[in-house]
Amino acid sequence: MFKDLARLQAKLKALVTEQENLCQQGKVADYIPALAKVPATKIAACVANINGSSVGAGDYQEPFSIQSISKVFGLVMAMNRIGDDLWQRVNMEPSGQPFNSIIQLEWEKGIPRNPVINAGALLVADVLTSHFSTSKLAFLCFMRTLAHDDNIYIDQDVYQSELEHGNRNAALAYLMKSFGNIEAEIPAVLSHYFTQCAVAMSCEQLAKSLLFLANKGVDPISKQVICTPRDAHRVNAILSTSGMYDQSGEFAFSIGLPAKSGVGGGVVAIVPNYGVICTWSPPLNSFGNSVIGTNLLANLAQELGLSIYH
């Protein structure tokens, strides 16, 4: 558990102020208009404590597009639904490739390297589409339950844009289907995947909703079992090795926390037995990870001595 939350809040404020005044690099995602129009100056950091309390600084209560952070939640739902069968259809190795790469998928006969690159998340979306009668609604309900907030919503503007610019994801899904690794019809799989990506949440909501991964699978607020301790371990392991895409090695080397980024500029990091940190800043580096979001996490982890490798 994080102690002395007042000091932690002062630290978050100081870090946010320091980062917003630095000359920053990076580029806001512009593959869809709905993301391109988000102001590059947004900046936020929030820490959810394992006892359910939280502190934040900057725009930490403002919703943004969670994008690939949704892959974590989809994965947990799929693991809960089909158990170890999932690992017959998706691997658990780092890809060493950009998040939306297609090359490896053909070499490896339609089996995605891991569930947190696009191909893997589309595979997970197929599992959810095939095993829930209303998978999009089930996903939204899951998010609302985890965040303890019924106001969480799907940003229709982002969803529509994703659909209109979804050719690469469609290509990944059709390639997997050609290998027999996708069961449902591709339009339904894509619709589920883009719905997940289009969920809007704030840093505070995201940090709270992932507390179960810092607490061996149990939501510390409701005491509800969200997944088994073994699956919480597995998700954290995948996030440690692949959550920051092809920057995961460097992230483990310099920060040492299971983490997941999204092209909306959000980054979440799990601190087992302590809580969850979420940062947000839209400009991205060449890996698709938030520049300031990663800096904020690095500074905080260093100052507080947080690393799972200590």
Ligand X SMILES: NC(=O)CC[C@H](N)C(=O)O
Binding-site sequence positions: 68, 118, 162, 169, 193, 245, 263
Q: How far is CA 73 from CA 13, 67, 289, in A?
A: 29, 11, 19
Q: Count the Cβ atoms, other than its own, within 10 Å of residue 97.
A: 16
Residue nearest to ligand X (CB): 68
Nearest partner of 124 among 170, 71, 66, 178, judged by Cα: 71
* Pair type for strands 199-201 and 266-271: unpaired
Cβ(110)–Cβ(101) below 8 Å = no
Measure the CA angle with vertex 223, ends 218 and 226; round to 5°. 40
* Cα 18 off chain centre by: 25
Catalytically annotated residue among 124, 263, 267, 276:
263
Catalytically annotated residue among 245, 268, 271, 276:
245
Catalytically annotated residue among 71, 136, 216, 260:
71
Binding string, residues 134-163; x marks residues near ligand X by CB under 6 A: ----------------------------x-
> Which residues in the 262-291 window bind ligand X by CB under 6 A?
262-263, 288
Binding string, residues 195-214; x marks residues near ligand X by CB under 6 A: --x-----------------
Catalytically annotated residue among 90, 124, 191, 193:
193
Binding string, residues 59-88; x marks residues near ligand X by CB under 6 A: --------xx--------------------
Cβ(235)–Cβ(75) below 8 Å = yes
To the query of whether residue 309 is one of the catalytic residues in this protein, the response is no
Catalytically annotated residue among 54, 68, 161, 281:
68
Q: Which is nearer to ligand X, 171 or 304 (CB)?
A: 171
- Total residues at the site for ligand X (CB under 6 A)? 11
Q: Which is nearer to ligand X, 60 or 193 (CB)?
A: 193
Binding string, residues 238-267; x marks residues near ligand X by CB under 6 A: ------------------------xx----
To the query of whether residue 216 is one of the catalytic residues in this protein, the response is no
Cβ(114)–Cβ(90) below 8 Å = yes
Residue from 118, 209, 281, 294 in contact with ligand X (CB under 6 A): 118
Q: Which is nearer to ligand X, 60 or 194 (CB)?
A: 194
Residue from 2, 60, 73, 99 in contact with ligand X (CB under 6 A): 99
To the query of whether residue 245 is one of the catalytic residues in this protein, the response is yes
Q: Give me the amino acid identity at 257.
A: L
User: Residue 263 Cβ, how far from ligand X at the closest point, in Å?
Assistant: 4
Cα separation, 48 vs 67, whole angstroms: 20
3-state secondary structure 71-131: HHHHHHHHHHHHHHHHHHHCCCCCCCCCCCCCHHHHHCCCCCCCCCCHHHHHHHHHHHHHH
Residue with the two structure tokens 């969200």? 226
Q: Which is nearer to ligand X, 193 or 212 (CB)?
A: 193
Q: Binding site for substrate: which residues?
A: 68, 118, 162, 169, 193, 245, 263
Cβ(104)–Cβ(97) below 8 Å = yes
To the query of whether residue 193 is one of the catalytic residues in this protein, the response is yes
User: Residue 191 Cβ, how far from ligand X at the closest point, in Å?
Assistant: 13
Nearest partner of 206 among 92, 44, 51, judged by Cα: 44
Which residues lie near ligand X (CB under 6 A)? 67-68, 99-100, 118, 162, 169, 197, 262-263, 288
| Catalytic positions, written as ranges | 68, 71, 193, 245, 263
